[in-house]
Structure 1
Amino acid sequence: VLKVHLSAHPEVYGRAPGEVTGDKVNKNLLFDSDRQHLYITTEKKVSEAPPRRLIDYPFLTESISVALHLSNASEKVGDSVRCTRKQDCSRSSEENTWLWSPNQQCVQIQAFDPPNLSCRKTQQVDISVPTLPRLRPSDSLQCVFGDFRTGGTVMAEDGRVEVTCSLPDPVEIPPTPEQQDFVSVPVRVLVNNHRGSIEVTSGEYHFYNCAATVRKNQNTPCISCVTSQWGCQWNAATHSCSDSDESVDGNHIVRPQQPESCPQFESPEPLLIPVGFQIPISFQGRNLENYMGRRFSIGTELMKATEEDVTQEQESRFRFRGYEFSYDKHQEVNVSFHIKQSDSEKKIDSTLTVVLYNCSVDREDCSLCKHADAKYQCVWCSATRTCVYRELCPAPQPARCPDPEITDIIPRFGPLNGRISVTIKGSNMGIKKEDVRKITVAGVDCVHQEERYSVSTSVVCEIGPARRPPPFDLPVDPLTSGAVEVEVEGGRRGTSKVLFTYRDPKPTTVQPAKGPAAGGTVITIGGENLDTATKDDVAVTVGGVSCEVLTFGTEITCKTGRYRGQKVPSDQLPVTVRYGKNTTKDVPAAYQYSENPKITDYYPKASFVCGGRRIVVVGNGFDLIQTATMKVLPSADEFSQDTAPVE
């Protein structure tokens, strides 16, 4: 039984509980004399459609959502807020007291005037509620702000409907949360009549706290204050942020949205600071008239409690001797400084930020060190075999780096015909891709793939064949092994200790030997030397149909694709394993695509909602199935909302 909403654009929105018999339904539907019940007929059966169920919902949004397809709506003023048919709503004829569900419109607060208020003030607020229901003389309005309750008045003019209420006193406003500069207070608009209070709509009202704006960035209290969305002002004399007040004047007052007028320190030099070496830092001061004769100290979170005195060089120029930083988590990190009055904990705005860098991080060899940007002044120090800031190395840096060192080869086996990629790992293998001059693998030239080069640490090349292809009547050559050699700029060479081996992979078996034409069967390929090359180099096809490689090793597994041939069952098809660009190996007549499994029946046909029943499925072709999963889809609408299939 389908549930259908009849309108200009009919749509199915669910199913009613009932047994699916497979019989055709008569298109002529029958109502009873009261038109309250619908009867559905088939060739053998007459069924009464389940009556529409209207449920009381505590919120209009839920009521409207459920009512959307029920040709009903929400009644707001009267007995309660509930989902009902129009004929059951005692005040449905009055404006905005019965909402037609397909419109999907609940009573909503459109705006507040003022939109927000300081937590230190109180006044009246106008709440715009365009679809407020018409009130009777016996009805009254109330506004509830958190725990504060006050009476409200309604004004309707020029199509606008506004509810006016008094805001709570500052002592009744909740405290501002730690990480915010405002507090959101829930707002509810209630209608009171002889039956009690009914919530018509709700929202949130923001009470801001100018004193809390400095939490955003404690290094710049004035800038955080005057750039906040609340229109706050800064008092440099009292070092405080407060509500905007035009009656307070003087050069110690910074007005809203005037951050350039804040007392502040800026423009540090130099911007780059190495770890482990103390460098003096100078900076500019601005708008410091209210701090004449004061002394300042500077610090940073990275150095914790260690603070340094600030020296005034000129009228607006300052400096301090710097820090000997220690940091090794990243190559670079931004370090921000705060500045305080020496005789207090009050911070003056500081936008001083420098970049702290460590030459040693991720530069473990000479080539990586020389590749660093010249602005860092990093050098390879032979005495310590580390990359450091120039001033930290007592000895001059070497003119050239040590010979390349090869630590690993991936893979260590390749097909005799070559044409696969080999990744060579190591150190000091050049500063740029052009530095790599020649690569050989087991004595065979290997073509450098420059686009895959990583400075100093990784070189990728494509190997050539181990030998020329012999005549077909000659035996295959024995395995060929040898070291890998990399030559870089300056004639420097590195030779691997591990060997690379050319060999011939031979797939011989495939299990299982058949599967459904729909694909999805995982086949296992056995043989000799199958773990030649890498998984990325290997591709498998079954009768020309791609087979997704799942695992790669002494055996290869792959998942078959959909067979699109006309003949099912298919002929015995070859399984082909391709290694790289130049090696193809076949297992002839190894696999057959068969008819897909079919379900002919299942029992039982019904179950309790709580589940637990054993279901038996009958059919053919089940022997092809490797892993079976059964999913039961709920047919009744009340069980299908946000419900996943049951396995």
Structure 2
Amino acid sequence: MPCVLRQDTLIYADGTLGARYRTSKNNGATSPPNGFQGQGSCPQIYQPNEELIHANIRKEVRIPIMNLPNATKVNSYECELEIETQTVRIPATVDESNSNITCSQYTYDYTAKEKQEVNAYIKVFWNDNEIDNAYQVTLYKCSVQRPDCSRCYSMNTTRSGLDCVWCTGDQCSYSLFCLSIVNECPSPVIIQTLPISVATVTTEPEPDFTEVIELFGTDFGQMMSDIDNIMIDNKKCVIVADGFNIALQSVKCKAPVFDSVSQRDVIITVQGKTSAPVVILYQNPLISELSPRFGIQAGGTTLRLSGSNLNTGNDVMVSIDGSECYVTSINENQMICTTSNYTTSGAEVAVTVTFGNAVRDGLTFNYTTNPTVTDFQPNKGIQAGGQNIRVTGTNFQYVQKATML
């Protein structure tokens, strides 16, 4: 008995096409003519589960299909594979129950080097007829973005069903490709710390820590609880809540306070295995000069702070009596910031620079009364511009830049 394949096409159970019929304006099909079944009775692919195939695996794919045409009326079946932008057709067979199509063996692979997974699609053809829906296959590569044992085995970076294992030779591979599986991950390795330096603390009372630092490396574990501790010399670097990133293999911790300049060793211990040390520098940033010492109350004054080791750490802030001076550039010997609005004028107030939780102060700044404009001449001019205008008023001496709008 025939059935409806598409909105306006009839297909018989023996695989031949019938006449077309009219569709309605709302894109829904009109009722099938007498003797024809609805679209639900047409051949269609049924996919109960995800099909996972590792790249470069040669295998058959078995596709469940409902309502296949009578096998005696079909000359041959084919599977058309669409992987990335490429398509290829391969022979296929039907089983005795006439409910499963098996695509012949094919080596499934993809070219994208940085993609862990790529979706591929398989369509089924018979007698040059096509089943409307496609069978989806997920192709994947264990080695992509899993450069260490922790990321190879972690459920956060390697989902269930992929069958990825860590192999001798330091590579995450598909289990069938691996000659010797390593079940226990090696010792952690710290590649770098950011920042590479933090400030010594010279004030009382001492803060709980000087600055949050981040360690990057390999085999820090599959979850934060795998990390036993992080030490800087003989003091613990307390791990920040939610500071572990399995994908990056990084962890954040609060660098402990030291009051003397020195290179200090950072080590991490993961499930009883300890890394080799890397060095972090505790240094003493000093502010020796501030210029200019005066600026208008409205803010916008560019200040230049001079000194040494000013690029210590990542968390540098300048405050003028609690009002932020926004840092725009910084190097070892100079820092530039822009003042913000201040509530009063005429007062000499303290300038404080913080490097994380380490405080440096001792300099002062004076907020002056905002300038006022009383007159400007001439008050008319040509559109082309180029005219000199004389502006009169008060308190112009501390204005660094003026603009006429």
Asked if TM exceeds 0.5, the reply is yes
Cα drift, residue 368 of structure 1: 0.7
Instruction: Go from structure 1 to structure 2 and tell me whether the alpha carbon gap of 1:286 and 1:603 turns closer, same or farther (over 3 Å shift).
Output: farther
- Alignment-derived partner of residue 325 in structure 1: 108
Q: Distance in 1 between matches of 2:35 and 2:92?
A: 25
Distance 1:519 1:234, change over 3 A: same
Q: For 1:420 and 1:248, how far apart are their aligned partners in 2?
A: 73
Counterpart of 2:366 in structure 1 is 592
CA shift digits 1:509-534 (9 cap, x unpaired): 11221111111222121112211111
The Cα offsets for residues 412-469 of structure 1, whole Å up to 9 and x where unpaired, read as 21122352111111111111101111211244321122411112721211111225xx
Report the CA distance between 1:399 and its aligned residue: 2.5
2:281 paired residue among 497, 501, 505: 501
Q: 1:359 aligns with which of 142, 150, 164?
A: 142
Aligned: 1:424 with 2:215 = yes
Match 2:356 to one of 580, 587, 604:
580
- Give yes or no for contact 2:267–2:274 (8 Å, CA) kept in 1: yes
Larger radius of gyration: 1
Deviations 1:193-233 (A, max 9, x none): xxxxxxxxxxxxxxxxxxxxxxxxxxxxx87x53xxxxxx2
Unaligned runs of 5+ in 1: 1-221, 227-232, 468-476, 632-647
> Alignment partner of 1:408: what SS?
strand
2:335 aligned residue (556, 567, 571) = 556
Distance in 2 (alpha carbons) for counterparts of 1:598 and 1:235: 85
User: Residue 205 of structure 2 corresponds to which residue in structure 1?
Assistant: none
Post-superposition Cα deviations, 1:121-163, rounded to whole Å, max 9, x if no partner, equal xxxxxxxxxxxxxxxxxxxxxxxxxxxxxxxxxxxxxxxxxxx
> Can you list the C-alpha shifts for 1:347-368, whole angstroms capped at 9, x where unaligned?
3212311222221111011111
Q: Give, in angstroms, the shift of residue 240 of structure 1.
A: 8.5
Match of 2:27 in 1: none
Q: Cα deviation per residue 1:69-121 (whole Å; 9 max; x = unaligned)?
A: xxxxxxxxxxxxxxxxxxxxxxxxxxxxxxxxxxxxxxxxxxxxxxxxxxxxx
CA contact (8 A) 1:414 1:420 kept: yes
- Look up the match of 1:105: none
Pick from 179, 185, 188: which aligns with 1:394? 179
Q: Secondary structure at the match of 2:121?
A: strand
Greater share of strand: 2
Shift of 1:312: 0.6
In structure 2, the residue corresponding to 1:481 is in which secondary structure?
A: strand
Partner of residue 143, structure 1: none
* Corresponding position of 2:389: 616
Residue number among 377, 392, 400 corresponding to 2:163 in the alignment: 377
Aligned length: 375
User: Is 1:234–1:253's contact at 8 Å kept on the other side of the alignment?
Assistant: no
The 5 Å alignment of 1:82-101 reads: none
Distance in 2, matches of 1:450 and 1:389, equals 34
The corresponding residue for 2:255 is 463
Q: Deviations over 1:306-326 (max 9, x none)?
A: 322121112212222454222
Alpha-carbon distance in structure 1 between the residues aligned to 2:20 and 2:120: 26
User: Partner residue of 2:323?
Assistant: 545
Deviation, 1:269, is: 5.5
1:329-351: CA deviations, max 9, x gaps?
3122222222223x53x432123
- Matched with 2:235 is 444
Aligned amino acid, residue 481 of structure 1: Q
SS at match of 2:65: strand
Q: Considering fraction of residues, name the structure with more helix.
A: 1
Output the TM-score relative to the length of structure 2.
0.83
Tell me the amino acid that sits aligned with residue 297 of structure 2: A
Aligned mates of 2:167, 2:32 — CA distance in 1: 62
Residue type at the aligned position of 1:574? A
Shift of 1:299: 2.0
Distance (whole Å) between structure 2 residues aligned to residue 265 and residue 251 of structure 1: 24
Q: Distance in 1 between matches of 2:235 and 2:389?
A: 62
Match of 1:348 in 2: 131
Give, in whole Å, the separation in 1 of the partners of 2:322 and 2:401: 25
Partner of 1:295: 76
CA gap 1:309/1:615 in 2 versus in 1, 3 angstroms: farther
- Superposed CA RMSD in Å reads 2.8
CA deviation profile, 1:453-511 (whole Å, cap 9, x unmatched): 112721211111225xxxxxxxxx4x22122111110x2111244x2111221112112
Residues 466, 502 of structure 1: 8 Å contact kept: yes
Given that 1:268 and 1:282 are in contact with CA atoms closer than 8 Å, whether structure 2 keeps it comes out as no
**Identity fraction in percent:** 26
SS of aligned partner of 1:310? strand
Q: Distance in 1 between matches of 2:284 and 2:324?
A: 23
The structure-2 alpha-carbon separation of the partners of 1:443 and 1:604, relative to structure 1 and needing over 3 Å to count, comes to same
Q: Could you tell me which amino acid in structure 2 is paired with residue 561 of structure 1?
A: S
Contact 2:197 2:283 in 1 (8 A): yes
Offset from partner CA, 1:352-405 (integer Å, 9 cap, x none):
11222221111011111011223211101114x22112112122x112111111
Are the counterparts in 1 of residues 114 and 145 from structure 2 also a CA contact under 8 Å? Answer: no
Distance 1:527 1:272 in 2: 60
Distance 1:353 1:379 in 2: 25
Q: 1:625 to 1:240 in 2, by over 3 A?
A: farther
The answer on whether the counterparts of 2:381 and 2:387 sit within 8 Å (CA) in structure 1 is no
Residue 553 to residue 247, structure 1, CA distance change in 2 (3 Å)? closer
Does the CA contact (< 8 Å) of 2:50 and 2:138 recur in 1?
A: no
Given that 2:330 and 2:336 are in contact with CA atoms closer than 8 Å, whether structure 1 keeps it comes out as yes
- Identify if the C-alpha distance between structure 1 residues 268 and 388 changes in structure 2 by more than 3 Å, giving closer, same or farther: farther
